[in-house]
Chains A and B, each alone.
Chain A
């Protein structure tokens, strides 16, 4: 089945530093990649939609200058959390749809802890 590889799985960083999270579609081309954030005991919240070769679309309340998204190829999308703060600590997950009508495949998630 379709696989989305996400890494790192876990990262601890100091406040003020930047962290890059990568998601790769391994056996399909992902023209669109979705980035979610999930706080403990809450549902997934869509942060942004990453489109290959164009600018990402951000959800209301998500700072585009803080959460930089790059989708330079059909198999790779990256999310960079810039100047991270403790409140950015969360579980970040990417997702893509291998084909129309199919379910969405998720990366394994990145647990970010900012200290």
Chain B
């Protein structure tokens, strides 16, 4: 009963490098999303998906890319890392929108130097 699994837990990148944050859920949830958490700003939605093959932008999508080829996986790609992307990233999933609320992963702490 893993829930939502995020890897890695910690990562340091140099400016300009690219990387993929992994997210997998084993609950057969349709809805998945990525948030970033910054001090004093709460959680801001980066991208979300309402099912395999369907993704859409959230509040702060610039510099990030996503795909959803399977129900289980929803990776987040940083195309060219910038110091402004230093943050804690959370993946979350839900059976569908609205009533069920989210199940969150434990987060990835990313530092871009």
| Chains A and B are bound partners | no
List residues of A whose CB falls within 8 A of some B CB: none
